[in-house]
Amino acid sequence: MATVGSVASVAFKQQYIPAAKRGPITRLLEDERRLAFCLMLPTVVLLGLFIAYPFFNGILLAVTDTRVGVPGHFVGMDNFVKIWNDDIFHVAVWNTCLYTFVTTVFKLALGLSLALLLNRHFRGKAFIRAFILLPFIIPTVLSTFAWKWMFDPTFSVLNWMLFHAGIIHTRINWLGDPVMAMVSVIIVNVWRGVPFYAISLLAGLQTISPELHEAAAIDGARAWARFRHVTWPLLLPVTLVIVLFSVIQTFADFQLVYVLTGGGPANATQLFATYAYQLGIGTGLLSQGAAISLAIFPILLLVVIVQLVYIRRTETL
């Protein structure tokens, strides 16, 4: 009986226990396609509301003659023809390209140098890393106002310092001279953008195995050779993505120039975004403002395509 009893108890223990009752949502989400859809939905909604809708609305505006408070009529490509023949627009295109190119080169060079330094071990590393991010954290308008004071034609603290250090004998007209005004906005943009590069590249550097460097060192590679043949090739995909983001942001930059120079003097620092704002908001010509904003699109699209193709190539090598 005892044997029978033990067999019965084993049978009892092995009895099938039904799973807890699943709710209708759980059952619905068991389908991977549905789950994927639900996971993507918030992003799609956000992108639709804040990217796609303004973008398509911008296209609609650009092909009409809409002014503030006055619904427009379809005018085809008229606004694009107008801006194509607009001398200030030409200046803005040149300025934007120059501004983006120069700032990107400097931000990359300085950001990479900073990242390589921060990747070393030293005391207070965590504090320094956090401190480096400050320019990126402070709201752009706020920090730009501080720079505006530093570049002030009458009260520039930079001029004061340079003068008392014996470096200059007459004041530098930072924002009043067309060349210096562009230099000034570039300086501020680089100051603000370097932390983004530095921290992002630092993250990339930390994914590179130290063993690779050790192996290269054992093989006799010096610091420069290790950087050129080990660090740089492995960092390149990350760098390209960072440059891509940075180019897009810089190309559409507005706040910094608007606060610092308002696009002046005599349009010397006028960019796509500031000119679009001046026409769309200042003058009420919404459709022309939209056309200028859209004119950025093909240029940026080209940049994005070239970079993405290059990134794919480097990843498949």
Partner 1 sequence: MAEIRRRKTLQLSAASALAAGAGGLAGILGSGRAPAYGQTQTMHWLRWADFVPASDQLLKGVIVKECEKALGMKLTVETINANDIQARITAAIQSGSGPDIFMTLNNWPQLYADSCVDVSDVAEDLGKAQGGFYDICKVVGTVGGKWIGVPWCAGGGLVAYRKSWLAEAGATEFPKTWDEYRTVGKNLKAVGRPYGQTAGHTFGDAPGWWYPYLWSWGGKEVEADGKTVVLNTKETVESVKFAVALWKETMDEGGLAWDDTSNNRAFLSGSISATNNGASIYLEAKKKPDSYLTEKGTPMKDDILHAGIPGGAGGQFNLPGPFTNLVMKYSKNQDAAKKFIRWMSSKEVFEQWFVSQQGYTCGPTKVWEEHPVWNIDPILAPFKKIPVTGRLTGYAGAPTQKAAEVQTKYIIVDMYAKAIQGMAPEESVKAAHGELVKIYGA
Q: How far is the CB of 31 from partner 1 (least distance, A)?
A: 38
Q: With respect to partner 1, which residue has the nearer C-beta, 46 or 70?
A: 70
Q: With respect to partner 1, which residue has the nearer C-beta, 197 or 275?
A: 275
R_g (Cα) of the chain, nearest Å: 29
Q: With respect to partner 1, which residue has the nearer C-beta, 104 or 269?
A: 269
Count the Cβ atoms, other than its own, within 10 Å of residue 190. Answer: 20
Residue (of 151, 136, 145, 138) closest to 183 by Cα position? 151
Q: With respect to partner 1, which residue has the nearer C-beta, 96 or 104?
A: 96
Q: Exposure string (b/e) for 224-241, b if CB count within 10 Å is 16 or more? A: eebbeebbeeebbbbbbe
- Please name the residues in contact with 59: beta carbons below 8 A apart, sequence gap of 6 or more: 290, 294
Residues in contact with partner 1 by CB under 8 A are: 67-70, 82, 85-88, 151-155, 171, 173-178, 181, 261-268, 277-286
Q: How far is the CB of 129 from partner 1 (least distance, A)?
A: 36
3-class SS at 167?
Answer: coil
- 235 within 8 A of 145, measured Cβ to Cβ: no
Q: How far is the CB of 139 from partner 1 (least distance, A)?
A: 16
Q: How far is the CB of 160 from partner 1 (least distance, A)?
A: 13
- 186 within 8 A of 99, measured Cβ to Cβ: yes
Q: How far is the CB of 310 from partner 1 (least distance, A)?
A: 38
- 120 within 8 A of 114, measured Cβ to Cβ: no
Q: How far is the CB of 284 from partner 1 (least distance, A)?
A: 4
Q: Is the peptide bond before 18 cis (omega within 30 degrees of 0)?
A: no
CA angle 158-187-136, nearest 5°?
Answer: 105
Q: With respect to partner 1, which residue has the nearer C-beta, 144 or 267?
A: 267
3-class SS at 114?
Answer: helix
Q: With respect to partner 1, which residue has the nearer C-beta, 152 or 236?
A: 152
Q: How far is the CB of 106 from partner 1 (least distance, A)?
A: 22
3-class SS at 47?
Answer: helix
Q: With respect to partner 1, which residue has the nearer C-beta, 178 or 237?
A: 178
Tell me the sheet residues that pair with 67: 70
